[in-house]
Structure formats: structure tokens, C-alpha cells
Amino acid sequence: MSDHLTISDLNLEFRTRHGTVRALEDVSLTVRRGEIVGVVGESGSGKSVMAYSVMGLSDAAADIKRGSIVLGGMDLLTTRGEAMRAIRGREMAMIFQSPRTALNPIRKVGRQIEDVLLEHAAIPRRDLKKAAIAALERVRIPDPERRYNAYPFELSGGMCQRIMIAIALACSPSLLIADEPTTGLDVTTQAVIMDLIRDKSRDSRMSTLLITHDLGLAGEYCDRIAVMHAGHVVEIAPTDVLLAHPAHPYTRQLLAATPTPDSTIDTLSSIGGQLPDLRRELPPCRFSERCVRKMPQCDLPPLPWTELSSDHLVRCRVPL
């Protein structure tokens, strides 16, 4: 499979009144056609910041210092205005983590789906309602004809999440960024939604970037997993390899802290320390201050990538 999304050496900072926050440093990641890549890590590790950078929706205080983001041959960092708006919704779409704030509160949800179809799909106006209701059916919205006329405040959080997913998939984008797409959904509906995303990826070769805290979800649905810590991608590997043979100390601790059906209080462990303050000068390895395996060479720049196999990369001087 060929790479469809390529993020290379992305460095992003936020200018704040309390100093410059170095939110992303030398982030590189690829997503191939028809592939689901999971991005996991603690809150504050930079997962959503990276996703918003791809969509061109970064905060006004964000400053991309260097790097590139290429989608299907298009340089997204140099694409602006109407050209970028044409790409969003048609070529790439995003399921936002907070549907309550992403949906327009004073517009019926069916109309919001129609807005996307009208802008990006070659559908006659007379067929828009039928297409919008079909989009609601695909995400298992009960009584879609009635829900078409509902406002977001009339729906539950889980229902709003499914509306967001329906909007994102309405125009069959070539890249889907799913930021915690199953938030607020019960286990059965979560499986339905993830099966829908997986089938869409396979059938239409849609590339999917799945951002999640749920390692179990990533393990079940992702082809590869990238682990992020404090603005660094620290390990990338095929899912089965990463879960069976984690090479970065952080990945190993993250897995040890993740509950499984066989876990008990005694078998679960916590990750020591906390995410570093990204406003100060940090050592090359941003995990070193929390790492039980820290050695003197860990503080020597630059921080190298170690290739354990053709598809398993770890950013560590002393991988496990």
C-alpha cells in the first residue's frame, strides 16, 4: 500500500503569555491507503494537536516552525483559504472529540449533513434529504426520518457523536481523522461505529487516523499504532508487534497500566511522574525524567530512531 498521508518532522509551538509551549517536536507519521493507524498516549501528549494541524484548524496562537504535511500529493501547509475549505469534507474529514461544541446548536442535524453534501457532493437538491437520512441510517440512528428534524440539544451525547460521524463520512473522504470517535457510546454502538469505519477503510481504501486513549480499541481495529509522549512519537509498529513486543519504556508502562479482562488491582501499574512542562528546555528524550531505565547517554542529542524491523521504529537509545 502507498502512503496517502505523510507527516514529516512537524514542529509546532504555541505562543502564550506564560512562555512558548513546544507542543510537537520532530513528529513523523504515515498513513497508507486503506489503513487504520492508531495514535495513543496520555492526555496532553499532542495527539489532537497533531490532528488539528493536519486539518488546518490549529489555534491562532499555533506556529508551525518546520515540517510538512502531504495528503495524496497535496502540501496541506501551503494550502489556504477556499482551497483548504474545498479539501475539508471532500478529501479529509474529522470526527471531533466534543460533538456538543462541534455541531451547530441552532440548526437541525439533518440540515447540517445536507450542508456538507451540498458543498462537496454532486447531489441534486431534491435528493439531499434522502441522502442525509441514509447517512443517519448508516450510523444506526433510530428513527432517522424523525431525527433528521432534531436539534443537537434534543439528542443525547452519544446520539450527537453518531451525528458527527455521519457528517464526517457523508462525502466518503479519502482521509478520516477520528478523535475519540466512540466517546459517550455504549459498548454495542461502539462496536457498530468502529465496524463501520473499518469497513469503509477496507472497501473504499479510506485512510484513517484513530486517536484514542483505549489501547484495547486500538488493538482490535488498527493496523499500526503510533505511541506519543509529550509531543514526541516514541514508537511505531504493526499492532500485533507493538502489543506483543513493546520496545520503548513508555510503551511498556502504558500497556502495563491498561486494564484487561484478566487484570486485578495488584497486576496493574501506574506510570511514574508526570508529563514535562513543555515551556522549558527539555532533554532530547522527553520521557527520560520519568524513565526507570535512564542512562547518561539519554541526555545526549540528537534523539535517534532505532529500526528494529522494517516496520517497527522506536525513538530510544536503550530500547527494550
Closest C-alpha to 2, from 207, 213, 193, 195 = 207
Q: For residue 99, give every residue at least 6 positions away whose Cβ sits within 8 Å of its Cβ, in sequence order, or none.
A: 152, 157, 160, 161, 163, 164, 184
Percent of the chain with pLDDT over 90: 71
Round to whole Å and give the CA distance between 36 and 156.
Answer: 28
Q: According to the model, what pLDDT value does residue 273 have?
A: 86
pLDDT-derived band of residue 298, with 50, 70 and 90 as boundaries? confident
**What is the assigned CATH class of domain 1-78+219-281+299-320?**
alpha beta
Round to whole Å and give the CA distance between 215 and 268.
Answer: 14
Is the pLDDT reported for residue 297 higher than 80?
yes
The CA distances from residue 301 to 91, 185, 283, 295, in Å, are 38, 44, 8, 13
pLDDT-derived band of residue 258, with 50, 70 and 90 as boundaries? confident
Bridge partners, residue 207, by sequence:
175
Mean pLDDT along residues 219-238: 97
Q: In the chain, what are the domain boundaries? A: 1-78+219-281+299-320
Neighbours of 145 (CB within 10 A): 12
Is the pLDDT reported for residue 313 higher than 60?
yes
Taking each helix axis from N to C end, the angle separating 157-169 and 187-204, rounded to the nearest 10 degrees, works out to: 0
Q: Is the dihedral of CA 193, 50, 40, 27 positive or negative?
A: positive
Kindly report, residue by residue over 70-122, the tens digit of the pLDDT: 999 999 999 988 999 989 989 999 999 888 888 999 999 999 999 999 999 88
Round to whole Å and give the CA distance between 77 and 277.
Answer: 27
What are the start-end ranges of the H helices in 205-301? 215-221, 239-244, 249-256
Beta strands 224-229 and 36-40: pairing type?
Answer: parallel
pLDDT-derived band of residue 265, with 50, 70 and 90 as boundaries? confident
In which element (H, E) is residue 226 found? strand 224-229
The answer to whether the predicted template modeling score (pTM) of the entire model surpasses 0.75 is yes
Asked if the bond preceding 302 is cis, omega within 30° of 0, the reply is yes
Round to whole Å and give the CA distance between 228 and 231.
Answer: 7
Q: According to the model, what pLDDT value does residue 28 have?
A: 96
Kindly report, residue by residue over 166-223, the tens digit of the pLDDT: 999 999 999 999 999 887 778 888 888 899 899 989 999 999 999 998 898 999 999 9
Neighbours of 25 (CB within 10 A): 22
152 φ, ψ to 5°? -55, -35
The residue behind cell 479510506 is 206
Neighbours of 149 (CB within 10 A): 11
Q: According to the model, what pLDDT value does residue 145 have?
A: 95
Neighbours of 65 (CB within 10 A): 12
Q: According to the model, what pLDDT value does residue 1 have?
A: 57
